[in-house]
Amino acid sequence: MKDVCVVVGAGLAGATAARILAESGERVFVIERLNHIAGHAYDEFDENGMLIHKYGPHIFHTNEKKVFDFVSKFTSWHYYQHRVLSYVDGMLVPFPINRDTINSLFGVNISTSEVEDFLKEEVKNSNFNNPPKNFEDMVISQVGRRLYEKFFKNYTIKQWSRDPKELSADVAKRIPTRSNRDDRYFSDKYQGLPKFGYTKMVERMLEHPKIFLVTNCDYSEIKDEFKAKLTVYTGELDKFFGESIGKLEYRSLDLIFETLEEKQHQQAAVINYPNDYDWTRITEFKIMTGQKSDKTVLCYEYPKDEGEPYYIVMSEENMQKREKYMKEVEKLEKSGEYIFVGRLAEYKYYNMDQVILASMEKISNWLKR
């Protein structure tokens, strides 16, 4: 298999890499551990014809025209702009925090021009380490302790099962807040969902005569059987190296789906529950997809330690291990025979568009070599 490029993983990073390599004339062999393509963006129609995101909600958003143009070759769009509500103090309020959030929670009536001053005053009246040493300090330095405790503290404990002081300040480098009444979760120029789903979009990305796909196959069990011209790796970073520097932590989710005989159940596609109940959020997919039906599907998210790896855990210990692993990655990438790309392979938080962009750029640079 010396003249073949191997792509490990058929998620967005892998599918992007495979397509660009194939279009440049390379033969590509895609190996996927799961029994389906599209990674954690995988979606499918249930028995009632409702399009469900099997690994939780995925909303595409980007300011990168070249990324939007690239994926638009494989899908048309349902132009949806995401809105999230948060259940705090028995009320549903807009999140990210905006003028309406502040007025509802604190019984004030500030104007949009007063929001920044309000937040500065909240920060001024709060105690925290400055410069920030951890997640808690970083959030308080931006919105103050009262809003931190209402929206972030307990949500973070549920999500990561640890004290927010144990998480890196980088997790909260920029907490999105709005000084106006804009209640959109993202403000990117291009937003939406693939009209027929992410799975169909990725399927079209992988439809090329030079791409060969195998699912239900664990690369770690067969990697010693061949030497590829190039290996694009998108799986877990520590797993590639046999956990030689130590095991990295990942957080998983228990996703519980419920079908209701209702046209619409929630006021928004996603409602966060930072303080009440054991779940972190409930998603109602049809609000995002725009499907019409007399039924609706809800998805409850319960974070857990073990299972399918969804999120990296940005603790000091994990970040130190990551640094050592990435030195090994650097050596392999310098050889021109390996590329590591994606959330798991780089142990790095990426949005979907950032994953696609990183894959586009890394493959483009390799082809130039």
Single out the residue in 146, 172, 198 at which a domain terminates.
172
- Residues 99 and 157 reside in one and the same domain: yes
Length of the chain: 369
In a domain, 30, yes or no: yes
pLDDT for residue 5: 97
pTM assigned to the model: 0.95
- Residues 32 and 130 reside in one and the same domain: no
pLDDT one-digit tens code per residue, 243-283: 999 999 999 999 999 999 999 999 999 999 999 999 999 99
Find how far residue 295's CA is from the centre of its chain: 27
pLDDT for residue 176: 78
pLDDT one-digit tens code per residue, 23-78: 999 999 999 999 999 999 999 999 999 999 999 999 999 999 999 999 999 999 99
Q: Is 346 exposed, middle or buried (0-12, 13-18, 19+ CB in 10 A)?
A: buried
- Residues 13 and 140 reside in one and the same domain: no
pLDDT one-digit tens code per residue, 166-179: 999 988 876 778 88
Domain holding 137, by residue range, is 84-172
In a domain, 187, yes or no: no
pLDDT for residue 275: 98
In a domain, 258, yes or no: no
Number of domains in the chain: 2
Distance of alpha carbon 253 from alpha carbon 247, whole angstroms: 19
- Residues 218 and 361 reside in one and the same domain: yes
On average, the pLDDT of the chain sits at 96
Do 192 and 71 contact (CB within 8 A), yes or no?
no
- Residues 221 and 327 reside in one and the same domain: yes
